[in-house]
Structure 1
């Protein structure tokens, strides 16, 4: 446990540094799924490691050991986790849980607001055109979602650029990109180190929608022009929703659209999958070690109690201890 419990924490740091850089250079759709998987596994690994470290400190408290009927000395011998480290892990675990709760409540309110706005929009079709002078274009998730475009935005674009804009927003709804955003925001609330994954994820989702729009329109240059003109028209609007054609790093998106489609590369995904597998296996190994540690400590406490009660314990007396849930046989200190 001394090594395996820290592996998920290390892998989280590695993913926070390298995953966003790799995702921006890969095909956007598989990159988005990879970032979502990385965020989910890294968050669970982070919480699991902190919980095991905190547990290793909790079981060293004499009052807790007395209730659980295990030996504190045996625990400290088999699991060299300092109480200071365990205390910091417990504090970080509580902070992560609080951040997750607040972020989940915020995301729930946002989704409810989006659904309410969808019902209040005029018309009953997927597209809602608002007669306002502020250039707007975004997708609202709902059941079903709606595409909102202002008349001022439509006047800024040509016919094919309008088609590209609508195809972009439709891709957001069809791909349910708001769920990806929710996952990344929750993971960043659990562990601030994962914020780069959330930031890269927003860019990847816009690139995903750009590529689908390019396939739908059949001309990558038209989509690039639509993205650029829409961004210029809304440059003064700082409160636009995240799922919008003007979101993300627009210059990088335009350059990507003016270039050939990104190639599909298997090596980065294989490497990422290997890291996630190591994270899961290490966490499972640490949990198994913790269980074995408690079983060994309980057996030591049982044997010690019998030795104090009877100077020369016999075989049947030893069996009584094992009948109370303690493992029989010699004690193995790991």
Structure 2
């Protein structure tokens, strides 16, 4: 059991190489699904392993053993982690639970604010054009979701560029990309080691939207040019957003939550040059080898966690039967 728990706790260390491999070699839509699932699974299994360490130590306490009708002799013979690991595991587990709950609460409030903001925007259509001279474009999730574009952004794009921009933002809404980024960031709140995966998911939804826009307008080069022009204009004007930024409608310049610049954990250039280069290259392939490798690693991580939990359950059941 000790080895299984240790392996489960070590698997999140593979987050950075996994993020680099999948983001580079796997088609964006599939990569986003895969990276989000990886972040949630690795964070969940590692937090579960910490919980198993805490539980294994609690059942050694006579009061808890009597409450659960467990035999201390059987429990003592079980291959449980060292008692010295219980205290740090308990602290880490408690911190993970607190951080996850706090993030979920903040995100729920932000989502509620976004829904209200979407209802309060003028007009009844999907598109809202503001009179701001600052170049800005973002989506607001809601029922219905809205696309907000400033006149400053529209002025720097030609007709084809505007079509590409709107197709990009529609892809964010249609595919509900805010749920992918929220899930990945929730996992990162539980276990900071999976932050590279969360950052890769935020880049992945942008690439997903880029490819959707290219398919919609039928011209990859046109989308690449629109991204480059929009990024330059947005960087020059640096518009301030409140609700839109909180909900992760990522601008073409690749900014993150709250309008703050994030360090891209993937090797190479920044997100905008890489997105432009990807659009100027041939359409991405499915990336089956990288997908299979990632799924294999995730399967092993899940198996280790399940085996550790199953071992603890078997010992506790045997201890209860033995007592009887």
In the alignment, which of 228, 244, 257 is matched to residue 250 of structure 2?
Answer: 244
Question: Aligned-pair distance for 1:239?
Answer: 4.2
> 1:77 & 1:150 partners in 2: Cα distance?
68
Unaligned stretches of 5+ residues in structure 1: 303-325, 327-334
- Aligned position for 1:253: 275
1:319-334 to structure 2, matched below 5 A, reads: 326=324
Q: Distance in 2 between matches of 1:12 and 1:96?
A: 14
Partner Cα distance (1:277, 1:180) in 2? 21
Task: Indicate whether 1:185 and 2:185 are aligned.
Answer: yes
Q: Deviations over 1:64-85 (max 9, x none)?
A: 2233333334323222411121
Stretch of structure 1 that moved more, 140-149 or 287-296: 287-296
Of 42-51 and 66-75, the range deviating more from structure 2: 66-75
Q: How does 1:123-272 map to 2 (within 5 A)?
A: 123-235=123-235, 236-237=237-238, 239-240=240-241, 241=245, 242-248=248-254, 249-272=271-294
> How far, CA to CA, are the matches of 1:90 and 1:239 in structure 2?
41
For the residues of structure 2 that align with 1:171 and 1:128, how far apart are their CA atoms?
16
Contact map agreement 2:135 2:151 (CA 8 A) in 1 = yes
Deviation at 1:63, TM superposition (A): 2.1
Decide which of 291, 306, 317 is 2:313's aligned counterpart.
Answer: 291
In the TM superposition, residue 44 of structure 1 has moved relative to its aligned partner by 1.9
Q: What TM-score, normalized to structure 1? A: 0.86
8 Å contact from structure 2 (residues 136, 239) kept in 1: no
Runs of 4+ in 1 over 6 A off after TM superposition: none
Aligned-residue offset at 1:245 = 4.0
Contact 2:41 2:298 in 1 (8 A): yes
Bigger-Rg structure (1/2): 1
SS at match of 2:70: coil
Which deviates more, 75-84 or 161-170?
75-84
Contact 2:177 2:205 in 1 (8 A): yes
Equivalent pair of 1:206/1:247 in contact (CA under 8 Å): no
SS in 2 for 1:234: helix
Residue number in structure 2 paired with 1:53: 53
SS at match of 1:261: coil
Given that 1:129 and 1:148 are in contact with CA atoms closer than 8 Å, whether structure 2 keeps it comes out as yes
Contact 2:214 2:223 in 1 (8 A): yes
The alpha-carbon deviation at position 295 of structure 1 amounts to 3.1
Higher relative CO (CA 8 A, sep ≥ 6), structure 1 or 2? 2
Contact 2:135-2:239 within 8 A present in 1 as well: no
* Deviation, structure 1 residue 178: 0.5
Equivalent-residue separation in structure 1 for 2:161 and 2:145 (angstroms): 22
| 1:96 Cα offset (Å) | 0.5
TM-score (norm 2): 0.88
SS at match of 1:289: helix
8 Å CA contact 2:97–2:190 kept in 1: the answer is yes
- Structure 2 Cα separation of the partners of residues 43 and 80 of structure 1: 22
1:113 alignment partner in structure 2: 113
Give the superposition deviation at 1:51: 1.0
